[in-house]
Amino acid sequence: MVDAKRKHAVIVGVSKYRDPDITSLKFASADAQSVYQFVTDPNGGGFPKGRVSVVYGPESSMKTTLALCAAKEMQRLEPDKTVAFVDVERM
């Protein structure tokens, strides 16, 4: 098991897309919050709350790209730590 001090997570929930052929999602933000609750629960993921970021809303704000960059930077700066990226667009 990974020590909690070495865990980081970025959770992304995209609810609306610029492409009209992609159906918007009603519950992406709620799903992102549910995943947050699970990963920060000591009986769930066990991630410290201060080490989990939740980003949600419409696609146009580049949240997924920003979150991926943040996760990659965490991995680069501290390669011995566990970094989780959870995208709840199509869960």
CA distances to 22, 39, 61 from 80, in Å: 38, 19, 31
Average pLDDT, the chain: 78
The highest-confidence range among 4-8, 14-18, 30-34, 67-71, by mean pLDDT, is 30-34
Whether 91 has a pLDDT exceeding 60, the answer reads no
DSSP codes, 17-74 = -SSTTSPP-SSHHHHHHHHHHHHHSTTTT---GGGEEEEEEEGGG-HHHHHHHHHHHH
Confirm if 35 and 47 have CB atoms less than 8 A apart: no
Which residue from 63, 60, 66, 59 is spatially nearest to 25, judged by alpha carbons?
Answer: 59
- Give the domain ranges of the chain: 12-87
pLDDT digits (tens, 9 = 90+) for 28-57: 888 888 999 999 999 998 888 888 888 877
Q: What is the pLDDT of residue 2?
A: 63
Whether 89 has a pLDDT exceeding 70, the answer reads no
Record the pTM. Answer: 0.65
